[in-house]
């Protein structure tokens, strides 16, 4: 799931699978759908 983190007064959204940060929650959610750290159905 997407996690939130505060940095320099701004909220960032992090992929729990790989730790990548996004400025928009939807961007992080979209990434997680394709991130092989989180999705077991992703094609290898």
Q: Which residues bind Zn ion (CB under 5 A)?
A: 15, 17-18, 35
Q: Which residue, 1 or 9, is less far from Zn ion as judged by CB? A: 1
- What is the C-alpha separation between 13 and 8, in angstroms, rounded? 14
* CB of 13 vs Zn ion, minimal distance in Å: 11
* CB of 32 vs Zn ion, minimal distance in Å: 6
Cβ 27 vs Cβ 14: under 8 Å:
no
Cβ 19 vs Cβ 13: under 8 Å:
no
* CB of 19 vs Zn ion, minimal distance in Å: 7
């Amino acid at each position: 799931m997407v996690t939130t983190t505060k940095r320099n007064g701004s909220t960032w959204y992090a992929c729990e699978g790989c730790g990548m940060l996004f400025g928009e929650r939807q961007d992080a959610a979209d990434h997680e759908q394709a991130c092989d750290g989180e999705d077991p159905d992703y094609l290898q």
